[in-house]
């Protein structure tokens, strides 16, 4: 009686030999997951237009053989206005030149097209735009592109989380970039208007720069300019300091005026004068001759450069300072600007120097008036 076992072994052996060559020649396409996948939004607000930056690393690489990178946006995102001017692709080997498609001629390395919700990037055959294995890819979409694009992607109108799918057809490498679309957040704050204006008295030592060499110097306070009893036919000077801070968008102005000229109880008046000739309420002129009697003021910047430009050339500390007389409310004069700026300022400071010269035949008496500063911010 013959044994059957060897026959069964032979049949199996033949079958193995028949199928072995096919098994050794089978080489399937390798598909890997893209790594380091991310999508950065310039604006994540629902329904808002936004630039997008898509980044990933391709394990397998992308050959320059018309292979495509397809970036699929979920329904509800609007990408129809995007073209090659809004798309840049950079990778470890450099930046890709791009065109509408790879049939344009020349050496474009990438074609850019839109198909429904898909942004398709075609790596042109033979133009050197291939991406090597483990290559890092950064795709910028929107106005941030180097070609100065004008359009952006419009986000989904519904607040939620969404997946942007990325597919490389040459290797079947795939990945998803997750994004969150959220409602716009409104930040609000109310900033109060700010105005701080101060007048400070100055000592005789602090007013030295205001005086000519032969002038007497008087102290002042924040509320008084006391010339006391001056030597007639001679200058006596003093000064006050003005400091202003304001957040007024359109700046500010500070004006000066007096209620009337220096007047005694007997209604005698010390006339404002004309300096050495030519100065008045609106015109500055030199005043260096102490026998030219009157009452006036000069200006000098301390910080900020905000004094009236009429005193730019001949401020108080000039060898021949210019002066103006003070507009009088009693004469319906227009107040004169002494400080101004077209924007907000912080701690801008000027000095106002006062000068008086009394005639030798001025009627005796105590002469007073009131001087007003008015600070007006413009918001």
- The answer as to whether 22 is a domain residue is no
Question: Would residue 58 count as lying in a domain?
Answer: yes
Dihedral, 249, 253, 254, 260 alpha carbons, nearest 10: -140
In whole angstroms, give the CA distance from residue 59 to residue 34.
6
Q: Give the residue ranges of the chain where pLDDT is below 70.
A: 1-31, 93, 104-106, 145-148, 211, 213
Show Cβ contacts of residue 36 under 8 Å, excluding neighbours closer than 6 positions.
55, 56, 57, 136
**Amino acid 285: pLDDT:** 96
Residue 278, helix vs strand vs coil:
coil
Task: Please tell me the predicted confidence (pLDDT) of residue 31.
Answer: 53
Q: Of 165, 169, 90, which Cα lies nearest the Cα of 122?
A: 169
Q: Are residues 175 and 207 in the same domain?
A: no
**pLDDT in the model for residue 372:** 93
Secondary structure of residue 8 in the 3-state scheme: helix
Flag whether 9 is in a domain: no
Question: Three-state SS for 68?
Answer: strand
Q: Do 262 and 372 fall within a single domain?
A: yes
Residues 47 and 133 in one domain: yes
Contact 137, 89 (CB under 8 A): yes
Residues 230 and 313 both lie in one domain: yes
Domain with 298, as residue range(s), is: 195-377
Is 319 found in the same domain as 367? yes
Q: What is the CATH number of the domain that holds 169?
A: 2.60.40.740
Backbone φ, ψ for residue 311 (5° rounding): -110, 15
Q: Are residues 83 and 135 in the same domain?
A: yes
Q: Assess whether 351 and 213 both reside in one domain.
A: yes
Distances (CA, A) of 228 to 2, 41, 169, 359: 150, 73, 97, 15
Question: What pLDDT, on the 0 to 100 scale, is given for residue 231?
Answer: 86
User: Is residue 73 a contact partner of residue 79, using CB atoms and an 8 Å limit?
Assistant: yes
Within-domain flag for 316: yes
Number of domains making up the chain: 2
For position 126, what pLDDT does the model report?
Answer: 75
Q: Check: CB of residue 275 under 8 Å from CB of residue 294.
A: yes
Same domain, 217 and 253: yes
Joined tokens for residue 364: 């005796």
Q: Is residue 26 part of a domain?
A: no
């Amino acid at each position: 009686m013959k044994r059957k076992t060897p026959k069964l072994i032979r049949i199996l052996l033949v079958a193995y030999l028949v199928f072995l060559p096919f098994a050794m020649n089978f080489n399937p396409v390798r598909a890997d997951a893209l790594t380091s996948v991310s999508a950065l939004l310039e604006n994540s607000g629902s329904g808002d237009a936004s630039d997008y930056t898509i980044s990933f690393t391709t394990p397998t690489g992308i050959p320059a053989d018309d292979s495509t990178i397809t970036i699929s946006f979920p329904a509800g995102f609007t990408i129809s206005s995007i073209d090659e001017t809004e798309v840049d692709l950079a990778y470890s080997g450099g930046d890709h030149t791009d065109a509408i498609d790879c049939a344009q001629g020349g050496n474009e390395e990438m074609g850019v097209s839109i198909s429904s919700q898909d942004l398709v990037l075609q790596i042109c055959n033979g133009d050197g735009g291939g991406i090597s294995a483990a290559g890092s890819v950064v795709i910028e979409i929107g106005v941030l592109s180097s070609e100065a694009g004008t359009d952006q992607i419009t986000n989904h109108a519904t607040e939620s989380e969404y997946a942007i799918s990325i597919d490389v057809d040459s290797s079947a490498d795939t990945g998803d970039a997750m994004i969150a679309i959220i409602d716009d957040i409104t930040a609000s704050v109310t900033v109060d208007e700010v105005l701080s204006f101060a007048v400070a008295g100055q000592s005789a030592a602090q007013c030295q720069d205001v005086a000519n060499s032969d002038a007497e110097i008087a102290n002042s306070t924040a509320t008084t300019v006391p010339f006391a009893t001056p030597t007639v036919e001679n200058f006596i000077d003093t000064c006050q300091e003005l400091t202003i801070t304001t957040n007024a968008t359109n700046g500010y102005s500070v004006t000066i005026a007096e209620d009337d000229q220096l007047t005694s109880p007997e209604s005698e008046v010390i006339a404002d004068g004309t300096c050495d000739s030519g100065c008045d309420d609106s015109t500055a002129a030199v005043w260096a001759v102490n026998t030219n009697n009157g009452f006036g003021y000069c200006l000098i910047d301390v910080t900020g450069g905000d004094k009236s430009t009429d005193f730019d050339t001949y401020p108080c500390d000039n060898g021949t300072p210019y002066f103006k007389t003070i507009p009088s409310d009693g004469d319906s004069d227009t107040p004169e600007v002494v400080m101004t700026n077209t924007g907000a300022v912080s701690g801008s400071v000027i000095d106002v120097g006062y000068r008086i010269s009394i005639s030798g035949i001025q009627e005796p008496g105590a002469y007073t008036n009131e001087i007003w500063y008015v600070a007006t911010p413009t918001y």
